[in-house]
Amino acid sequence: MAHTAPRTMSRTQGRRHPLVATAMVLPLATLLVVVFGGWDAVVTQASSVGVMLGR
């Protein structure tokens, strides 16, 4: 029982608010869109993944 606090703290440290995670990912996503051929390529890949997942 005495060792539950460190485990609980390590679980909560890895979580981020969704807006923070989005703000971190958007610059990289923008760079990838520019490098790999624009929005059409992103939409094509996303739809392919959606078909593979059955949506």
Domain ranges of the chain: 17-53
pTM of the model: 0.40
Amino acid (1-letter code) at residue 54: G
d(CA 30, CA 22): 12
**What per-residue confidence (pLDDT) applies to 55?**
58
d(CA 51, CA 4): 43
**What per-residue confidence (pLDDT) applies to 6?**
60
Segment 1-55, tens digit of pLDDT: 566 666 555 555 667 788 888 888 889 888 888 887 777 877 888 889 888 888 5
